Amino acid sequence: MSNIFELMAPPTAPPLDPGFRPAVLANRAFRQAVDASSDAVDVRIALTRGDGSVSVYPTRAWAPDSPNAGGNLMYAERLVKFLLWQRGGYKVTIAGHPQIADHLKQVYAPDGARAFDYGFMGGVYERTFEVESVALEDCPAEQDTTQPLGRHLDGNRVGFDLGASDRKTSAVINGESVWEEEVPWDPKNQSDWRYHYEGIKHSISRAMEHLPCVDAIGGSSAGVWINSRALVASLFRSIPRDDFDAHVKDIMLNIGKELGVPIIVANDGEVTALAGSMSLEKNGVLGAALGSSEAVGYVTMDGNITGWLNELAFAPVDYQPNGPVDEWSGDMGVGALYFSQQAVGRLAPVAGITFDDDPDLPVLLERVQEMHLAGDERAHKIFVTMGIYLGYTIAHYADFYDFENMLILGRCTSGQGGPTILDIATDLLQREFPALAEKIDLMLPNERLRRVGQAIAAASLPELTTDGPCSMCCSQA
């Protein structure tokens, strides 16, 4: 049985990463070979989430008795990995191919190669993660729903966005920001939950001082948030588990109680997409924030959000066998290493850029951006490489999302880096994926929206009620 899963060299090679093997090219080549054969079977992959919703992804694979069946294993594992971080689930059902299911049971196990994913998904949905095998006709039925998010601009609001290197806060009156602030912090290396609690409360309180009264507070943050509760978030990764359960899961709700104003918090990727949809006045938006990590959100063609995770920082985009390894998940080739400060930090020494004082990533990014603005060709190659990454990855994302607008923002897109990434990715799409280039508008917001627009969109999350904490004074204003 052949174990070959062919990795395709891209026609456009990143100048600083010649080993890059785009996921989209390998997946499409595999599917084309399978579809052209009479030696293939239908397979369905169902992902069940904690609320009972189910996403189903149909595909095809070599039949179990095919001499090519070994090639199914890498294809299926990388595909399931992507689907888990796109859509989420505590149970993966493989319908129509027990051989693939058996392989995934070994890989996604407490002692398997994807032990991180096993534990993470189990923690998010507070269930034991499992992989099951069923006949094709017994595949669970699709049960996905969408719902509206935000877009409430009335009243006096505070919006905040919690990043790994800074807290952005806005005071917003009827949709217009009247005050904005960015405060540096280092949350992921702090083990005392009080550091996070006091820092978040301080930023919100600062914004409240610039409003006549406060109707609502909305925020965005990396991680998985359900009903404004933190189930998993990289910002709190150094906090001991007991303290996380006791003080962090309800950190936002408790700050809201102390300040006397309810808080609604959503995943930063979702708020990124919401900000894009609001600023463009369009739907079908995939938003990607290229900051300390990669945050992705999705607004559907009808203007709603899904119940999916959309945590594509952990979703594979590069299949090269010796690719960079994510320090948290232990997996290689995942989005965070290609679309973030981590990518700049990884590529800088390859480009010949080093600093004697070994700056942390936010400072390193600023220095590389300054070099880029000054015309340094080494810095330019970093953003060209990221643009090539993005072009192939947009095509990859288009195999899983239906969208017509893609917005990129975040610290990596400040200065000239953003336009370079955009131009390179746009040119690649036009040459290698012309049908997608015709369909998808790839764009940058203006500089102000790139840096603080997410906080303003976050402020729109809560819907005001007539008996809100500030309704009386606002109604008399």
- So where are the chain's domains? 23-144, 145-477
Average pLDDT, the chain: 92
Contacts of 159 (CB under 8 A, 6+ apart): 169, 170, 172, 207, 217, 218, 219, 455, 456, 457, 458, 459, 460
Average pLDDT over residues 380-407: 97
Whether pLDDT at 472 is above 50: no
Token pair 């998993």 in the structure block, residue: 232
Model pLDDT for residues 30-87, shown as the tens digit of each residue: 999 999 999 999 999 999 998 899 999 999 999 999 999 999 999 999 999 999 999 9
Per-residue pLDDT at 470 = 62
Rounded to whole angstroms, how far apart are CA atoms 252 and 237?
16
Q: What is the DSSP code string of 208-243? A: HTTSSS--EEEEEESSEEETTEEEE-GGGTTS-HHH
Whether pLDDT at 3 is above 70: no
Whether pLDDT at 272 is above 70: yes
pTM of the full predicted structure? 0.86
Average pLDDT over residues 191-211: 97
Q: What burial class does residue 249 get, using C-beta atoms within 10 Å of its C-beta: 0-12 exposed, 13-18 middle, 19+ buried?
A: middle
Per-residue pLDDT at 453 = 66
Q: Is the dihedral of CA 254, 260, 262, 265 positive or negative?
A: negative
Rounded to whole angstroms, how far apart are CA atoms 287 and 442?
10
Rounded to whole angstroms, how far apart are CA atoms 291 and 451?
10
Q: How far is CA 2 from CA 24, 101, 283, in A?
A: 22, 18, 44
What's the one-letter identity of residue 432? E
From first CA to last CA, the distance across the chain in angstroms is: 76
Rounded to whole angstroms, how far apart are CA atoms 404 and 398?
9
| Residue 238, token pair as written in the block | 């150094």
Model pLDDT for residues 12-32, shown as the tens digit of each residue: 999 999 999 999 999 999 999
Whether pLDDT at 125 is above 80: yes
Whether pLDDT at 452 is above 70: no
- Among residues 354, 91, 428, which one has the least CA distance to residue 346? 354
Whether pLDDT at 210 is above 70: yes
Whether pLDDT at 475 is above 80: no
Per-residue pLDDT at 108 = 97
Whether pLDDT at 468 is above 60: no
Is residue 232 within 8 A of residue 182, CB to CB? The reply is no
Give percent of the chain with pLDDT exceeding 70: 95
Whether pLDDT at 451 is above 60: no
274 CB neighbour count, 10 Å cutoff: 28
> Higher model confidence: residue 337 or residue 456?
337
Fold of 145-477: Nucleotidyltransferase; domain 5 (3.30.420)
Per-residue pLDDT at 226 = 82
**Reported confidence tier of residue 446, pLDDT bands at 50, 70, 90:** low
DSSP 16: T
Model pLDDT for residues 354-391, shown as the tens digit of each residue: 999 999 999 999 999 999 999 999 999 999 999 999 99
Is residue 158 within 8 A of residue 211, CB to CB? The reply is yes
Token pair 């997410």 in the structure block, residue: 454
Contacts of 333 (CB under 8 A, 6+ apart): 23, 316, 317, 318, 319, 320, 323, 324
Report, in angstroms and rounded to the nearest whole number, the Rg of the chain calculated over CA atoms. 22
124-144 burial string, b = 16+ CB within 10 Å, else e? Answer: bbeeebbbbbbeeeebbeeee
Give percent of the chain with pLDDT exceeding 90: 77
